[in-house]
Amino acid sequence: MFKNFKISTKIILPIIIITTIVLSAATIYSYFFNTKNLEIVINSHLETATQSRANHVKTVIKMYEQRARMLTSKTWLRKHLKSYYETNGEEYKTIIEEILVDLKLENPEFLHISIINPDGKVVVSSHKDFVGKDFSNKDFFINGKKDYTVSDYHEPEYDGSRLHIAGPLTQDGEFLGVVAVSSDGKTMESVMTEYSGLGETGQIYLINKEGYMITPSRFKEDTFLKEKVDTLNARNCFSGAVLKDIAKYKDYRGSFVLGTYQYIPEMQWCLLAEIDESEILAPARDLLKFSIIRVLVVLTIFFIVTLLLAKMISKPIIALHHGIEIIEKGNLDHKVATTSKDEIGQLSRAFDQMTLAIKQSRAEVDQKVVKQTEEITKKSIDLANQQKAVLNILEDVQEEKQKSINLAHDLKKFQLAVANSSEHIVITDSEGIILYANQAVQTITGFSPQEIIGNKVGTKENWGGLMDKATYQNLWQTVKTSKKPFTGEINNKKKTGEKYIAQANIVPILNNQQQVAFFVGIERDITKAKEIDRMKTEFISLASHQLRTPLSAMKWFLEMLLHGDAGELSKEQTEYITNIDQSNERMIALVNALLNISRIESGRIIIDPELTNLEELVKTVTTELKPKLEAKKQNIIVSAHHSLPKINLDPKLIRNVYQNLLTNAIKYSPAESDITIMISKKDDQIISQISDSGAGIPIKEQTKVFQKFYRGENIVKLETDGNGLGLYLVKAVIESSGGKIWFKSEEKKGTTFWFSLPLKGVKPKKGQVTIDS
Amino acid sequence: MSHQNPIIMVIEDENLLLQAISKKLENNDMKPVSCTTAQQALDYLESLPELPDAIWLDFHLGGGMDGLEFMGKLKQNSNWSEIPVVVVSNSATKDKVHSMLALGAKKYLLKAEHRLDDIITTVKEFVQKGE
């Protein structure tokens, strides 16, 4: 069983048991030692008390004898007694009685005093009842005849008397009788009831030869001659045994007592001194209790200390155990790592090392296993790969099949697209033999695919034969020798013989050896487009020639008229002709504006940028406008950014913008007002600002400002001159130059226009016409 | 060209304009030689006793030969190549202006943009330079 205990228990248990045994033994020993010592002390004390009390008793008896002797020594008592004997006269008897009463009064301890004649009959007594009684067989009479004796009383029914004191009465050698005194024995009693030095339970008492108690008990009432004491010491006392050792026994009450005794041979009495064992042992018991408490306290402290000690010892062991449990579960990385340097610490470190060793060896095993597993895995992967490869091949086949299907779909789509395209599409071999022609070929040329497949493309047999030799050679040179796509306009003819212009794109398709395998020719009939284009050009031409020519004629003749080339004109004539001239100038301006719009809208305008100083440009414009400014006494203020860079832009176009905006400002501003031009730089833009304090643009019309032919309602009334094309043109020009235009205007207050131009300038654009030409 | 009144050959297919120009030249003490076609002008150049001091040439001309072609022919003849030519046309596209100036035209003016007086002043300047 002990084997199964924990280490702490194993440590604690024996220590506790041994301590308990030792302490218990010590306590018991000390208890018994103390008890013994106490008993010895008490015993010797009792013995002393017994002896001294016995002596005291003897002294008291002597005292009683002495008193009796004093009684009998009264000569006149003896005289009167002799006289009584002799005369038998009653008067003597009365005198003796009186004497006895007096003596009784003198000795309160004496209950009765009687005089007994030598025959044993009471002759005179202080107690009248005694007179005449025969005490001849009584001990005290028998003994009292010889000497003065004290004897104990044997008649319990005669309450009060305890002792008899008797002594002989003699007169001149003549025996007169015996004086007998019965005493209540108070002196004796007071001697025996003195318990001081005997504690709570100590008592001393006398027993007569019959064993009856003759002095009072400390514990019981009415014991005189009634309480028979038959205890160990009482027996030993009467048997004459020598008092030795400590006697412990049950006393007359049944209590355990420790007692001593002393035999008083004069009276055949035994004096017994006893004290309760419980009282004697009380201090020892108290001590025992205290000892037991002390033992318990010590044991408790011991237990706690031992427990702590055991814990201290067992803690690292538990830690070790815990560690082992963790490691048992498979965590070989766990370290018990006890820091203590004692044996347990050493053990735990040794254990850690062992764990490490196990781990290493396991790692080696694991490595081997891993290696083998890897090999197996590798093999299985290889196998899987092979499977995969097979599957892949299958998938590839599937994919290829799908691809083929997809390709077929794509091909179908392209076929459909090509077949239904509105463009004329043909595919030829490297020699130009037609392999394919789409539907549009028939639509455009009139030749059905059946008719032309197998023919050489673009020859007299089909739509060709009209190309000049140089173009024809250039075409084949490009696509066949240089193997590059050809793009150009060519002249063709339809099956009906009708000629048309085609925009042709011919692309050589090369094989892997970079040799021409096919040609794809895509052609579009652009005859109509060309026609429209030509018509636009014709319009401009018409406008410029057919309109400008009569306008020029009018201009010049009017000029001549006004100049007086046809003779002096009247004032009125001059005024009218001036009006006609001004109208003609407006017409010229309108034609110019229309031409410019036509150019811009057709996208044929040339943008020819050059590095331009905007400030200078503005100044040339203001210089040009000087006559108009002077006419209205207006002032133009030009301010430009101090380090304005030159910008790459078409000065002709931008000049037109400034011209337009400034002309408007002059036209719609009141006389003597200021017009300001500010040219500034903001980020990557050049901002031009033209402000006037003119009529302004009504808010509701502000959205229409840049519309073609728009003129503000307010200014139409103000100024009839104007065609509503200026700002439209300005906006078109600025936007074609990569800029923006915006404005702020309030009616009757003025208008400010801003336009931006990119600092980086504008890219050149090829075209056919310039502005104002 | 030492004579008082410089001869100005005007080649202009528009009759009204031709009249106005001629009248104005006369008013400015110059002798106009009016031609409505380029061919007529070439004929005059060959037949006239005196060569003109300057030529006023329109670009667009009827009669099969335009101003550009005339200019080419003029420059090919060493007798005529020094005569200053001012082109006055209804249109002044970049190509036209460039090709004319390249062939030696002194100036290219747009009809409607200029007063007759101004053009004559310009022509006069070239005549005087020639002297």
Handedness of CA A266, A267, A270, A272 (dihedral sign): negative
Q: What is the pLDDT of residues A695-734, one digit of tens each?
A: 899 998 899 999 888 888 888 877 777 788 889 889 988 9
Handedness of CA B58, B59, B60, B62 (dihedral sign): positive
Instruction: Write out chain A residues lying below 8 Å of B60, CB-based.
Output: 545
- What local confidence, expressed as pLDDT, does residue A156 receive? 55
- What local confidence, expressed as pLDDT, does residue A100 receive? 83
pLDDT above 70 covers what percent of chain A?
96
Residue B109 in contact with partner chain A when CB distance is under 8 A:
no
Residue B91 in contact with partner chain A when CB distance is under 8 A:
yes
Check: CB of residue A214 under 8 Å from CB of residue A207. Answer: yes
DSSP designation for A698: -
Inter-chain CB pairs, A–B, below 8 Å? 65
Distance CA A456, CA A431 (A): 8
- What local confidence, expressed as pLDDT, does residue B121 receive? 92
Check: CB of residue A169 under 8 Å from CB of residue A72. Answer: yes
Mean predicted confidence (pLDDT) in A377-386:
82
Q: Do A592 and B14 touch (CB under 8 A)?
A: no
Among the residues of A74-138, which ranges form H helices? 75-87, 90-106
Instruction: Write out chain B residues lying below 8 Å of A563, CB-based.
Output: 117
Statement: residue A658 has pLDDT above 50: yes
Statement: residue A215 has pLDDT above 90: no
Statement: residue A1 has pLDDT above 60: no
Instruction: Give, rounded to a whole angstrom, the gap between the first and last alpha carbons of chain B.
Output: 7
pTM of the model: 0.41
The token pair at A542 is 């018409």
Tell me what the pLDDT averaged over chain A comes to: 85
What radius of gyration do chain B's Cα atoms show? 13
Where does A430-485 show beta strands of DSSP type E? 434-437
Instruction: Write out chain A residues lying below 8 Å of B56, CB-based.
Output: none
Check: CB of residue A179 under 8 Å from CB of residue A238. Answer: no
Q: What is the pLDDT of residues A570-592, one digit of tens each?
A: 999 999 999 999 889 888 888 88
Q: What is the pLDDT of residues A40-68, one digit of tens each?
A: 888 888 888 888 888 888 888 888 888 87
The token pair at A199 is 């504690």
The chain A residues in contact with chain B (CB within 8 A) are 541, 544-545, 548-553, 555-557, 559-560, 563, 565, 588, 591-592, 606, 608, 768-770, 772-773
Statement: residue B3 has pLDDT above 60: no
Report the amino acid identity of residue A708.
K
Among the residues of chain B, which ranges form H helices? 15-27, 38-47, 67-76, 94-102, 116-130
Q: Which of B91, B109, B110 to mutate to test the interface with A (most CBs of A within 10 A)?
A: B91
Chain B nearest CA to A567, separation (Å): 12
Task: Name which of A560, A606, A608 is nearest B20 (Cβ-Cβ).
Answer: A560
Q: What is the pLDDT of residues A594-620, one digit of tens each?
A: 887 777 776 677 788 899 999 999 999
Distance CA A718, CA A723 (A): 14
Distance CA A631, CA A372 (A): 109
Q: Do B112 and A548 touch (CB under 8 A)?
A: yes
Q: What is the pLDDT of residues A325-354, one digit of tens each?
A: 887 787 777 777 667 777 777 777 787 788
Task: Name which of B24, B90, B91 is nearest A565 (Cβ-Cβ).
Answer: B24
Q: Which of B66, B93, B98, B113 to mutate to test the interface with A (most CBs of A within 10 A)?
A: B93
- What local confidence, expressed as pLDDT, does residue A2 receive? 59
The 3-state secondary structure of A753-770, one letter per residue: EEEEEECCCCCCECCCEC
Distance CA B88, CA A58 (A): 196
Q: Grade residue A157 by pLDDT with cuts at 50, 70 and 90.
A: low
Asked which of A229-233, A393-397, A709-713, B12-16 is least confident by mean pLDDT, the reply is: A393-397
Mean predicted confidence (pLDDT) in B76-93:
89
Q: What is the pLDDT of residues A556-572, one digit of tens each?
A: 999 999 998 888 999 99
- What local confidence, expressed as pLDDT, does residue B2 receive? 45
H/E stretch holding A368: helix A343-420
| Residue that has been written with the tokens 């229309």 in this structure | A594
The token pair at A750 is 């003025």
Q: Grade residue A470 by pLDDT with cuts at 50, 70 and 90.
A: confident
- What local confidence, expressed as pLDDT, does residue B131 receive? 55
Paired sense of beta strands B54-57 and B85-89, if any:
parallel
The token pair at A488 is 């150009």
Instruction: Write out chain B residues lying below 8 Å of A567, CB-based.
Output: none
Dihedral Cα A473, A478, A479, A481, nearest 10 deg: 90
Among the residues of A685-725, which ranges form H helices? 713-718
Distance CA A636, CA A614 (A): 16
Q: What is the pLDDT of residues A180-214, one digit of tens each?
A: 888 888 888 888 888 888 888 888 988 888 888 88
Mean predicted confidence (pLDDT) in A653-661:
91
CA A634 to chain centre: 82
Check: CB of residue A573 under 8 Å from CB of residue B38. Answer: no
